[in-house]
């Protein structure tokens, strides 16, 4: 029996040949230099910041070069399947404005390089596995779990590298032993379970100069010096489903991916992928192995973000807290490209998509994620978004995640005015960070959320009622800001408070306090807080009735 006959025996009834597939997936007709990228999430139900980080790089590299970005669902790990996970992936990414040109969508596949769900592509993988067998580059292996365990123990005892490689699977060299050949034929004819393994040509357990190496282009890390693989890794599992390794190679070749952006946890498998690409005579994509997302842990040391410890790893966190997607995008770019912040300073009003993103400027060692930094970036980003748009965003967010704030959306014009408070000054206020924080921050405008949070200042607490009564008596909603403050000064003086803080500081014994203490009493009665944007402006937004009502209540 030759290799071809074995291949025929392993997979007798496949409707297409490798040439058919090459014709069905022709090279893409794209302009010179256009990049084709893909996101290949597994539908585990957990979509995280790392996915978004990679997706963003994919999206920028493709769209900036006039290329194509597609979504492929990598569901070859059947144990991890979670219902609705694909919808979650699509809607979460869409929320952050990650737009695919082709691939899986909520309404089926778009594009001619599909099917874009790996579990639907079994026949394709088997066809290429058959081709590998026919070229002597792969073989069916019938080792049982117990046999593999025994091999592992033997290797451990001999201090050899673990795994199935030359010398360990008796089925690998079937062509050198007629007895094994007969066993293989009989097992296949009897329909016994098997996996298809790569028949690696690498040198097992080589050391030092004996290790052969390959040069592989990584756009983030520069040219990598990759040791050759020697493991006979599984390509097709007993279920007929491919492993990640083989699916990656077949799909990214057929779908004509030019740039594979994936986490650095895949670097150790790169030798396997290189060997498979070479065996099939295919060109390698340009790899972009991204750095792990890290944070400064409780002990002050850098550590990986963890699903268990860090809620901020999940994309759901940003949606439920109500971070504006533009803020998250903006922040991610600051960790994705080291020159982004400088660019933003020079181009404060530019569209984020005008930034020349490059893989070369991506970090290759632990990208540091910091929620405080995100909050700072968010403050600046929200300043660039018109208040009416923020109001709409908050309304949508509340409807989905926080119906308890529904009261704030009865009057959208009022809400818009509230959100715009102090944003148009020469030194604009940066009070708005994310929806949950914003709703708390502006809560005092709404009776549903208003409460006295801060203590009245000690200097004026005893005169509270007198101050507020005088304020109420003199209040004229039509006063301009200067007249209004003049009246507060009069109230201060009439009650033995200094008209200016500096007078009080000079002669503290001559006064009970100063005008600032008096206005703080009014501020707390109106807003419940000692700190807030400008009181006069707030009163204008609140309207006369509410101002009078709040002051009367506080007396
Ligand atoms: N399915 C893989 C993962 O979720 C994708 C890796 C890749 O992009 O190649 O990690």
CATH number at residue 464: 1.10.10.350
Q: Which protein residue has the closest C-alpha to ligand 1 atom 3?
A: 41
Instruction: Give the number of domains in the chain.
Output: 2
Residue 81 confidence (pLDDT): 63
Question: Could you tell me which of 195, 178, 197 has the C-alpha nearest to residue 186?
Answer: 178
pLDDT band at 111 (very low <50, low <70, confident <90, very high): very high
Is 193 within a domain? yes
Domain final position from 290, 319, 339: 290
Atom of ligand 1 nearest to the CA of 54: 8
Please tell me the residue having the least CA distance from ligand 1 atom 7.
262
Angstrom CA distances, 503 to 492, 514, 521, 522, stand at 13, 8, 19, 21
- Structural element, H or E, at residue 378: helix 371-383
Q: Which of 56, 75, 67 has its CA nearest to residue 29? A: 67
Quick check: 80 pLDDT over 90?
no
Query: Relative to the CA of 51, which ligand 1 atom is closest?
Result: 4
Under 8 Å between Cβ of 198 and 273: no
3-class DSSP state for residue 255? Answer: coil
Pocket test for ligand 1, best of 262, 273, 277, 289 (most atoms within 8 A of CB): 262
Band (pLDDT 50/70/90 cuts) for residue 335 is: very high
Mean pLDDT of the chain: 95
Residue 100's pLDDT is 96
| Domain extent for 490 | 452-555
Contacts of residue 476, defined as CB under 8 A and 6 or more positions apart, other chains included, come to 483
Q: Which tokens belong to 491? A: 């109230």
Find the DSSP H helices in 402-513: 412-420, 435-441, 464-474, 481-494, 501-506
Mean pLDDT across 398-421: 97
Round to whole Å and give the CA distance between 241 and 228.
25
Does the beta carbon of 262 lie inside 6 Å of ligand 1? yes
User: How deeply is 343 buried, as exposed, middle or buried, from its count of CB atoms within 10 A (0-12, 13-18, 19+)?
Assistant: middle
Model confidence at 476: pLDDT above 90:
yes
Q: For ligand 1, pick from 48, 58, 72, 74 the residue to mutate: most ligand atoms within 8 Å of CB.
A: 74
Q: Is-cis flag, bond preceding 115, omega within 30? A: yes
In sequence order, what are the residues at sequence separation of 6 or more whose Cβ sits closer than 8 angstroms to the Cβ of residue 11?
126, 127, 129, 130, 133
Q: Distance, CA 44 to ligand 1 centroid (Å)?
A: 12
Read out DSSP for 65-121? TT-EEEE-B----GGG--TTHHHHHHHHHHHTT---SEEEETTEEESSS---BGGG-
> 364 falls in which pLDDT band (50, 70, 90)?
confident
Question: CA-to-CA distance for 48 and 312, rounded, in angstroms?
Answer: 9
Domain membership flag for residue 138: yes
Which DSSP letter does residue 242 get?
B
What is the per-residue DSSP string for 266-326? GGGGHHHHHHHHHHTT-PPPEEEEEPPEEEE-TTSSEEE--TTT-GGGBHHHHHHHT--HH
Please say which residue of 259, 290, 321 terminates a domain: 290
Mutate to test the pocket of ligand 1, among 266, 273, 285 (most ligand atoms within 8 A of CB): 266
Taking the C-alpha atoms of residue 198 and residue 128, their distance in angstroms, rounded to an integer, is 12
Q: Check which CATH number belongs to the domain holding 174 and give it.
A: 3.40.50.620
Ligand 1 in contact with 289 (CB < 6 A)? no
Q: Which of the residue ranges 12-16, 164-168, 303-307, 380-384 would you say has the lowest mean pLDDT? A: 303-307
**How much distance in Å is there from the Cα of 289 to the middle of ligand 1?**
11
Express each pLDDT in 47-60 by its tens digit: 889 899 999 999 99
Question: Of the residues 263, 272, 276, which should be mutated to test ligand 1's pocket, given the most ligand atoms within 8 Å of the CB?
Answer: 263
d(CA 391, CA 414): 10
Distance CA 533, CA 431 (A): 9
282 CB neighbour count, 10 Å cutoff: 14
Would you call 190 exposed, middle or buried from its count of C-beta atoms within 10 A (0-12, 13-18, 19+)? Answer: exposed
**Dist. CA 200 → ligand 1 center (Å):** 23
- pLDDT band of residue 554 (cuts 50, 70, 90) is very high
Residue 52 CA to ligand 1 center (angstroms) comes to: 12
Of all atoms in ligand 1, which is nearest to the CA of residue 252?
9
- Whole-angstrom distance, CA of residue 371 vs CA of residue 138: 48
Q: Is the CB of 248 under 6 A from ligand 1?
A: yes
Report CA(38)–ligand 1 centroid distance (Å).
10
Q: Is residue 53 part of a domain?
A: no
Nearest-CA residue for ligand 1 atom 5 is 40
Render pLDDT for 262-302 as a digit per residue (tens, 0 to 9): 999 999 999 999 999 999 999 999 999 999 999 998 899 99
* pLDDT over 90 percentage in the chain: 92
Contact between residue 45 and residue 85 where contact means Cβ atoms under 8 Å apart: yes
At 543, the pLDDT band (50, 70, 90 cuts) reads: very high
Distance 447 CA to ligand 1 centre (A): 50
Dist. CA 81 → ligand 1 center (Å):
15
Please report whether residue 1 resides in a domain.
no
Whether ligand 1 lies within 6 angstroms of the CB of 74 is answered as yes
Residue 438 Cα to ligand 1 midpoint, Å, equals 36
Residue 531 alpha carbon to ligand 1 centre in Å: 48
Residue having the nearest C-alpha atom to atom 10 of ligand 1: 41
- Distance from the CA of 41 to the center of ligand 1, in angstroms? 6
With a cut of 90, say whether residue 82 has pLDDT above it. no
In a domain, 282, yes or no: yes
Question: Which uninterrupted H or E stretch holds 9?
Answer: helix 3-10
Yes or no: say if 522 and 474 are a contact pair by the CB < 8 Å rule.
no
Residue 373 belongs to some domain of the structure: no
Q: Which position has the token pair 């912040």?
A: 341
Instruction: Say if residue 408's pLDDT is above 70.
Output: yes
> Is residue 41 within 6 Å of ligand 1 at its C-beta?
yes
Whether the pLDDT of residue 378 is over 80: the answer is yes
> Tell me, what's the pLDDT at 144?
97
Q: Where are the alpha helices (DSSP H) in 136-241?
A: 145-157, 178-189
Q: Is residue 359 part of a domain?
A: no
Secondary structure element (H or E) that encloses residue 198, with its range = strand 195-198
pLDDT category at 388 given cuts 50, 70, 90 is very high
Which one of 41, 49, 53, 285 would you pick to mutate in the ligand 1 pocket, going by the greatest count of ligand atoms within 8 A of its CB? 41
Q: Which three-class secondary structure state does DSSP give residue 185?
A: helix
d(CA 430, CA 342): 20
Nearest-angstrom CA–CA distance, 42 and 69: 17
Radius of gyration of the chain (CA): 33
Distance 441 CA to ligand 1 centre (A): 40
* 432 SS3 class: coil
Q: What is the pLDDT of residue 425?
A: 87
Could you read off the pLDDT of 158-182 as tens digits, one per residue? 999 999 999 999 999 999 999 999 9
Distance 42 CA to ligand 1 centre (A): 7
Whether 78 has a pLDDT exceeding 80, the answer reads no
Per the DSSP assignment, residues forming a β-bridge with 277 are none
- Asked which of 263, 290, 317 is the last residue of a domain, the reply is 290
Whether 544 has a pLDDT exceeding 90, the answer reads: yes
Residue holding tokens 């900036």?
Answer: 64
Dihedral angle at the C-alpha atoms of 52, 57, 59, 63, nearest 10 degrees? 160
The residues, ordered by sequence, that sit 6+ positions from 522 with a Cβ below 8 Å of its Cβ are: 467, 468, 471, 488, 535, 551
Tens of pLDDT, residue by residue over 212-231, are 999 999 999 999 999 999 99
Distance (angstroms) between ligand 1 centre and the Cα of 40 equals 5
263: β partners: 290
For residue 262, the CA-to-ligand 1 centroid distance in Å is 6
Length of the chain in residues, anyone?
555
How are the residues of the chain apportioned to helix, strand and coil, as percentages rounded to the nearest 5?
50, 10, 40
**Residues 6 or more apart from 202 whose CB is under 8 A from it?**
165, 212, 228, 229, 230, 231, 271, 275
Token pair for residue 299?
């002990």
């Amino acid at each position: 029996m030759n290799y071809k006959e074995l291949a025929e025996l392993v997979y007798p009834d496949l409707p297409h040949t490798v040439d058919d597939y090459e014709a069905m997936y022709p090279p893409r007709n794209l302009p010179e230099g256009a990049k084709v990228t893909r996101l290949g999430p597994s539908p585990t139900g957990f979509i995280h910041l790392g996915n978004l980080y990679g997706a963003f790089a994919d999206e920028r590299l493709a769209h900036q070069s006039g290329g194509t970005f597609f979504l492929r669902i990598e569901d070859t790990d059947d144990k991890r399947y979670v219902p609705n996970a694909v919808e979650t992936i699509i809607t979460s990414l869409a929320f952050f404005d990650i737009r695919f040109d082709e691939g899986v969508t909520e309404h089926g596949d778009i594009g001619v390089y599909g099917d874009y769900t790996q579990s639907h592509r079994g026949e394709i993988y088997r066809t290429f596995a058959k081709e590998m067998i026919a070229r002597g580059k792969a073989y069916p292996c019938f080792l049982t779990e117990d046999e593999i365990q025994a091999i592992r123990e033997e290797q451990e005892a001999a201090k050899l590298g673990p795994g199935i490689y030359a010398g360990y699977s008796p089925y690998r060299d079937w062509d050198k032993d007629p007895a094994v050949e007969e066993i293989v034929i009989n097992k296949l004819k009897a329909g016994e379970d098997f996996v298809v393994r790569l028949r690696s040509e690498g040198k097992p357990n080589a050391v030092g100069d004996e290790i052969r190496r390959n040069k592989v282009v990584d756009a983030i890390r520069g040219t990598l010096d990759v040791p050759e693989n020697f493991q006979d890794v599984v390509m097709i599992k007993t279920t007929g489903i491919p492993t990640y390794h083989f699916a990656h190679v077949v799909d990214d070749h057929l779908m004509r991916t030019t740039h594979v952006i994936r986490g650095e946890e895949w670097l150790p498998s790169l030798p396997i992928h290189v060997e498979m690409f070479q065996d099939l005579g295919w060109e390698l994509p340009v790899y972009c192995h991204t750095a792990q997302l890290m944070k400064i842990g409780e002990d002050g040391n850098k550590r990986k973000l963890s699903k268990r410890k860090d809620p901020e790893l999940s994309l759901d966190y940003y949606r439920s807290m109500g971070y504006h997607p533009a803020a998250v995008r903006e922040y991610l770019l600051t960790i994705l490209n080291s020159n982004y912040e400088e660019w933003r300073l020079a181009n404060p009003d530019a569209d984020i998509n005008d930034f020349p993103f490059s893989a070369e400027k991506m970090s290759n060692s632990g990208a540091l994620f910091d929620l405080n930094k995100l909050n700072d970036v968010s403050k600046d980003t929200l300043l660039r978004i018109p208040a009416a748009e923020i109001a709409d965003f908050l309304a949508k967010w509340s409807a989905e995640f926080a119906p308890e704030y529904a009261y704030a959306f009865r009057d959208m014009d009022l809400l818009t005015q509230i959100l715009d408070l102090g944003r148009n000054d020469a030194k604009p206020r940066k009070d708005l960070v994310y929806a949950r924080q914003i709703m708390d921050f502006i809560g005092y405008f709404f009776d549903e959320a208003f409460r006295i949070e801060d203590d009245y200042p000690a200097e004026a607490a005893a005169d509270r009622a007198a101050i507020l009564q005088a304020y109420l008596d003199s209040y004229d909603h039509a006063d301009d800001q200067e007249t209004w403050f003049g009246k507060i000064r009069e109230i201060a003086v009439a009650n033995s408070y200094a008209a200016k803080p500096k007078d009080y500081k000079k002669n503290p014994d001559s006064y009970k306090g100063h005008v600032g203490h008096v206005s703080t009493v009014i501020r707390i009665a109106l807003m419940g807080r000692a700190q807030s944007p400008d009181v006069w402006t707030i009163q204008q937004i609140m309207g006369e009735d509410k101002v009078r009502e709040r002051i009367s209540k506080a007396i």
